[in-house]
Amino acid sequence: MTLLYLLPESCWILIIVGLGFAVIFRILRPSAAFGIIGSLVLVHIAGLFLEPLFDMLPTWVFAIIIVLVAIKLLSWVINATFGRGTASHFWGQMLHDIILLPFRLLARRR
């Protein structure tokens, strides 16, 4: 679903036609198809308003936003690939390593 937002606007008609066929062949419910179309339109409209805001942001704030989005995408990929339990364990271990990193760096200096 998230990858649909990365497609160019010229592909949207193919997405809408594909959703129509999915509804006709009962692969997808009409409410789900309308939800996908609505979210695509909403993302497009929000992009028009958010683009000038992102242009005004300082570089360091934009870098923080990029890191947060990358972490969220990584979380989504791990959750989709391995399941919720494994993703939970992964993030627990990742947090553990991040918390211990300063102490490990201090121990190396000695």
Confidence of residue 8 (pLDDT cuts 50, 70, 90): confident
Report the pLDDT value the prediction gives residue 97, as an integer from 0 to 100. 93
Q: Distance (Å, rounded) from C-alpha 35 to C-alpha 39?
A: 6
Position 15 pLDDT exceeds 70: yes
Tell me the pLDDT of the chain averaged across its residues: 86
Given a contact cutoff of 8 angstroms between Cβ atoms, the answer to whether 28 and 22 are in contact is yes
Which residue, chain included where needed, has tokens 């947060």? 68
Please compute the mean of the pLDDT values over residues 24-39 and round it to a whole number. Answer: 89
Please compute the mean of the pLDDT values over residues 74-79 and round it to a whole number. Answer: 86
Amino acid at 97: D
Q: Distance (Å, rounded) from C-alpha 44 to C-alpha 4?
A: 12
Report the pLDDT value the prediction gives residue 93, as an integer from 0 to 100. 93
Q: Distance (Å, rounded) from C-alpha 73 to C-alpha 71?
A: 5
Amino acid at 54: F
